[in-house]
Amino acid sequence: MQLRRAGIPDKETQKFLNPARELLNIPTFWQYQSNGLAAFLSSNFFLTYRLPQRFEKLAVAANRFHLKPLLPLLSGGRIFFVLALSQNAVTLYRGSRDSMSVVNLDRLPDCLSDALKYDEPDKQLQYHTGTRQRRGMRAAMFHGHGAGIDDKKDDLLQFFRKIDKGLQPIIAEEDAPMILASVDYYWPIFREASSYSHVVDEGIKGNPEEMDEDELHERAWRIIQPMYLREQEEASAAFIESKAKAWTSTDLKIVVPAAHQGKVALLFVALGIQKWGVYKPRKKEVFLHEKAKATNQDLLDLAALQTILNGGKVFALAPEEMPDHADIAAIFRY
């Protein structure tokens, strides 16, 4: 309908939509879905993403892709990783508030058992934290009775370094927290081996092979939720403090140009709300429209995208969580 209103002939519209329609005839595509699905179609390519977040149904036809519903996954969002370690499996999950899904780990070793070459840790093996190391973690100091204690730790350390190396292509550019799900004596050794700076102190204790995905997700979210709530509260407090200094705005016609010029340090945008219009960068003018058209775009989405591209941070929140109950709110750098 949006394409027809834009004046595109039906024949061209049908041809354009064919790649998406063909998915209806692929049962395996629909069999293996997550909580959310994002599809991006242009004349040059068609991409789909299974995502661990539920979305309201939305179709947008414009001269660029609409990304605002994905913002919780991209910036200031509630995304996290769970790395499940056991002797028989190494599994990485990407999670959100709603669900988790397995991340493909082709470059990782399959299990710990080949490296460990034993079934149970020596019961005399103990550790305590020593001097503070990088990223605020503490290195593990081991002591115990009997031969082979150091060898066992070295085997684990070597294996965890292989895991860390295999994870780098997947998570190197991420800033989402990672939770370890394993027996707790793995935790200090993995932290020593890991180069990822967002491994959280608290983990999921126990053998992850004895937990299903729902239990892992529930326990992970109990750890993650307070962290995100604190971050959101700190951002909201920063808005109130900056507002007193006149470093903020909730006016779309001010915020959009500022985001485009890289002036926005922190932006809040309301999910599920669209403000359709046009921004003309040369004159720094914003024009609001009542309805979506192929010639306009969601200006909230535009402001968020420009903020991210210019190094700012974005919180995409439910309308009732927005500062001043506005649709958009910005803290300026200057």
Token representation of residue 2: 């949006």
Q: How far apart are the first and last CA of the chain?
A: 43
Residue 5 Cα distances to 9, 15, 60, 254, angstroms:
10, 17, 13, 30
- In the three-class reduction of DSSP (H, G, I as helix; E, B as strand; rest coil), residue 101 is classed as strand
Domain 246-332, CATH among 3.30.450.40, 3.40.50.2020, 3.30.1330.30, 3.90.1200.10: 3.30.1330.30
Q: What is the 3-state secondary structure (H, E, C) of 156-213?
A: HHHHHHHHHHHHHHHHCCCCCCEEEEECHHHHHHHHHHCCCCCECCCCEECCHHHCCH
Residue 213 Cα distances to 93, 177, 181, 187, 217, angstroms:
9, 18, 11, 20, 6
pTM: 0.66
The pairing of strands 178-182 and 204-205 is parallel
pLDDT at 74: 62
Query: By the 8 A CB rule, do 124 and 145 touch?
Result: yes
pLDDT at 137: 37
Residue 284 burial (10 A CB sphere; 0-12, 13-18, 19+): middle
Residue 147 burial (10 A CB sphere; 0-12, 13-18, 19+): exposed
pLDDT at 249: 97
Alpha-carbon distance of 302 to 63, in angstroms, equals: 12
Phi first, then psi: what are they for 82, rounded to 5°? -125, 120
270 forms beta bridges with 317
Query: The domain at 80-228 falls in which architecture?
Result: 2-Layer Sandwich (3.30)
Query: By the 8 A CB rule, do 222 and 228 touch?
Result: no
Query: By the 8 A CB rule, do 299 and 286 touch?
Result: yes
Token representation of residue 246: 């006149």
Query: By the 8 A CB rule, do 95 and 84 touch?
Result: no
pLDDT at 65: 86
**Which stretch of DSSP H or E encloses residue 134?**
none
Query: By the 8 A CB rule, do 310 and 259 touch?
Result: yes
Residue 328 Cα distances to 81, 253, 280, 292, 304, angstroms:
29, 11, 19, 18, 9
Locate the domains of the chain by residue range. Answer: 2-51, 80-228, 246-332
Alpha-carbon distance of 238 to 178, in angstroms, equals: 26
Sign for the CA dihedral angle at 125, 131, 137, 139 comes to: negative
pLDDT at 131: 38
Q: Could you give the angle at the alpha carbon of 161 between the alpha carbons of 228 and 79, nearest 5°? A: 20
pLDDT by residue, tens only, the chain of 334 residues: 666 666 677 777 788 888 888 888 888 888 777 778 899 998 888 988 887 677 888 888 877 888 888 887 765 457 899 999 987 888 999 888 878 888 877 766 666 665 555 444 444 334 333 333 433 333 333 344 444 556 678 888 988 998 998 898 888 888 889 999 999 999 999 999 999 999 999 999 999 999 999 999 999 999 999 998 898 899 999 999 999 889 999 999 999 999 999 999 999 999 989 999 999 999 999 999 988 887 889 999 999 999 999 999 999 899 999 999 999 999 999 8
Number of other residues whose CB lies within 10 A of the CB of residue 15:
11
Number of other residues whose CB lies within 10 A of the CB of residue 47:
11
pLDDT at 29: 82
